[in-house]
């Protein structure tokens, strides 16, 4: 497949700079996800890699070859969009075959490649249907299949699951993970959903305001975040942040505690508070507690618990799991 190198990539729209010198190395066969809030620049960066947007500076290299001066069709990439972008008048087979037919593939090559992609994505029963006759999940699989048949050096995914309902998102996520293992392909994937990033990526690139905050494996980001932004963005429910002095945490400006590292008791604990709301999720229960010392905190309890609103509880944190941050928001190791 292909490696990807970004060197000091910048992008400005007029006087507004949206990407600030992005540097990144993606190894051959790696699955890397760009994640961050809306407006952080992740989709713009993906479009620059694809050639759909011109950079304002820097270099994009695929397999060591500079491609930011090469037309999109000659970069060896295939892109899967949020909106599927299928031809409505064509069958599933013809949608998947259109790109390689245009590139001059023979009938035998078309049949072989579409057949293989169809097998991978379990689309055998839908080849004669048109997009209007398919569900959202089936359409997205066709869009992925169209990318697979091109045998690109690089697969690019732009929020491909955002139009699907919850069940289809999980199923399609599994399809993409399985496809990556089977193809051993290099994939770059953009999402605002940190759960997608945590469950799919080899490495995650966390972006904020046009800059990279941290790069790491899902568990590296979860267990060793570089700053308050990464610590708050990765993990659901979000990490609790409080003034360190008010919690008795020395040598830090801010203390961070993940909800699952808080323990609740009706009798005793570090912080006394009143239950504001309880979210019953089946396997877990999220308890929101308004405390006197720490303000509003979120605790995640394994299993089902029946805490009533306005009841009094005590929360305690394991000191080994308290994150300490300085005045600039950087973690103190």
Written as one string, the DSSP assignment of 142-168 is HHHHHHHTT--SEEEEESTTTTS-HHH
CATH for the stretch 239-325: 2.40.50.140
Its pTM stands at: 0.91
**pLDDT beneath 50, residues of the chain:** none
The domain defined by 4-230 carries CATH number 3.40.50.300 = yes
58 with 8: CB under 8 angstroms?
yes
DSSP string, 108-131: HHHHHHHHHHHHHHT-GGGTT--G
Rounded distance, CA 262 to CA 285, Å? Answer: 12
Say what the pLDDT of residue 9 is.
97
Say what the pLDDT of residue 5 is.
97
Say what the pLDDT of residue 246 is.
83
pLDDT in tens, 63-112: 999 999 999 989 999 999 888 889 999 999 999 999 899 888 899 999 99
Hey, where are the domains in the chain? 4-230, 239-325
Say what the pLDDT of residue 1 is.
65
Which residues does 304 contact at the CB level (< 8 Å), separation at least 6? 280, 282, 285
């Amino acid at each position: 497949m292909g490696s990807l190198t970004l060197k000091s990539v910048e992008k400005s729209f007029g006087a507004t700079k949206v990407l600030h010198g992005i540097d990144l190395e993606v190894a051959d066969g790696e699955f890397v996800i760009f994640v961050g809030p809306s407006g952080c620049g992740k989709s713009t960066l993906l479009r620059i890699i694809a050639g759909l947007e011109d950079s304002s500076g820097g270099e994009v290299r695929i397999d060591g070859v500079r491609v930011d001066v090469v037309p999109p069709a000659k970069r060896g990439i295939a892109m899967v969009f949020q909106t599927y972008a299928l031809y409505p008048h064509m069958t599933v087979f013809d949608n998947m075959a259109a790109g390689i037919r245009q590139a001059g593939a023979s009938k035998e090559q078309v049949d072989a490649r579409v057949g293989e992609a169809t097998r991978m994505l379990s689309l055998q029963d839908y080849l004669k249907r048109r997009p209007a006759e398919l569900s959202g999940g089936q359409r997205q699989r066709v869009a992925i299949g169209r990318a697979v048949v091109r045998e690109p050096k690089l697969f690019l995914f732009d929020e491909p699951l955002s139009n699907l309902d919850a069940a289809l998102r999980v199923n399609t996520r599994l399809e993409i993970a399985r496809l990556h293992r089977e193809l051993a392909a290099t994939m770059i994937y953009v999402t605002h959903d940190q759960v997608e990033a945590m469950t799919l990526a080899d490495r995650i690139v966390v972006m904020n305001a046009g800059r990279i905050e941290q790069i790491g494996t899902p568990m590296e980001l979860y267990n060793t975040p570089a700053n308050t932004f990464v610590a708050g963005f990765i993990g659901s429910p979000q990490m609790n942040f409080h003034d360190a002095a008010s919690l008795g945490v020395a040598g830090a400006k801010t203390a961070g505690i993940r909800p699952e590292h808080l323990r609740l008791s009706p009798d005793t604990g570090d912080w006394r508070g009143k239950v504001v709301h309880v979210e019953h999720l089946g396997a877990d229960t999220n308890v929101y507690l308004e405390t006197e010392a720490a303000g509003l905190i979120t605790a995640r309890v394994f299993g089902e618990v029946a805490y009533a609103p306005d009841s009094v509880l005590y929360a305690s944190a394991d000191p080994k799991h308290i994150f300490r941050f300085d005045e600039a928001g950087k973690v103190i190791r």
